[in-house]
């Protein structure tokens, strides 16, 4: 007795379903090492390779930059990036084009800003929680050359510090590391920096 044609078709479909199902998980699941490598981007140091816009959010239509980082500004990565943008936590929180980044000079790219020297010229950011912007000269309108996150270390150019009081009364101190420039130490009677612990 001959097997009906629909029975043979059903057998072929069942066989293909089993074969495809058996293969599919291998295709869809990335190797565990890829996941491990992606997770390791958080906290790494990178530098901008050109003037780079910072966006407040990753999505949206026609996002407008909230800030622009100068070329060679060091940033700390805060996520693994999607849709061409990657999160940063220093010198400010936001999202920047991943294509505008390179490894930090003098490092393998792992970890945050390279450690600075300890001693009497070492200071840590104590305020504000979002960290401090490093500027080329001691004014708020000066170009940004980098940033230092909350709790991170920097090094003064001299001890006692080279201080410049701005027209608005803000005290600026000159630093040599992690990038040469000036950071705001707050207004008289307040301070953004403490001695290193």
Q: For the segment 165-182, what is each residue's pLDDT rounded down to a tens digit?
A: 999 999 999 998 888 899
What is the structure's pLDDT at 131?
84
CA-derived radius of gyration, the chain:
26
Q: Name the DSSP class of 177.
A: E
Please give the Cα distance from 121 to 2 (Å, whole number).
93
Please give the class, per CATH, of domain 122-195: mainly beta
d(CA 43, CA 40) in angstroms, rounded, equals: 8
| Cα 178 from chain centroid (whole Å) | 15
Give CA separation, 183 vs 6, 63, 138, 157, 176, in Å: 79, 29, 7, 12, 11
pLDDT at 38 over 50: no
All CATH 2.30.30.40 domain ranges in the chain, comma separated: 40-103, 122-195
**Where is pLDDT greater, at 43 or 9?**
43
Q: Are 121 and 156 in contact (CB under 8 A)?
A: yes
Question: Which tops the pLDDT comparison, 151 or 10?
Answer: 151
Q: Are 116 and 153 in contact (CB under 8 A)?
A: yes
How far is 163 from 153, CA to CA, in rounded Å? 18
Contact 178, 116 (CB under 8 A): yes
The answer to whether the beta carbons of residues 70 and 51 sit under 8 Å apart is yes
Nearest to 53 by CA among 9, 5, 95: 95
Q: In the predicted model, is pLDDT for residue 34 greater than 80?
A: no
Mean pLDDT of the chain: 77
Q: Residue 148's closest CA among 131, 171, 130, 129?
A: 131
Q: CATH for 40-103, among 2.170.190.11, 3.90.1150.10, 3.40.50.620, 2.30.30.40? A: 2.30.30.40
């Amino acid at each position: 007795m001959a097997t009906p044609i629909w029975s043979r078709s059903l057998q072929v479909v069942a066989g293909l379903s089993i074969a495809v199902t058996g293969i599919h998980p291998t295709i869809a699941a990335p190797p565990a090492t890829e996941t491990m490598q992606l997770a390791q981007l958080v906290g790494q140091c990178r530098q901008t390779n050109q003037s780079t816009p910072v966006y407040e959010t990753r999505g949206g239509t026609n996002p407008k930059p909230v800030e622009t980082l100068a070329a060679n500004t060091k940033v700390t990565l805060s996520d693994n990036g999607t849709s061409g943008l990657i999160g940063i936590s220093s010198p400010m929180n936001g999202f920047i084009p991943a294509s505008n980044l390179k490894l930090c000079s003098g490092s393998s790219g792992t970890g945050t800003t390279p450690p600075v020297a300890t001693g009497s010229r070492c200071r840590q950011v104590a305020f504000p929680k979002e960290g401090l912007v490093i500027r080329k000269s001691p004014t708020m309108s000066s170009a940004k050359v980098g940033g230092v996150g909350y709790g991170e270390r920097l090094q003064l150019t001299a001890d006692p510090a080279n201080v410049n009081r701005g027209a608005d009364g803000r005290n600026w101190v000159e630093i040599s590391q992690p990038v040469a420039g000036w950071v705001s130490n707050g207004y008289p009677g307040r301070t953004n920096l403490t001695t290193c612990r």
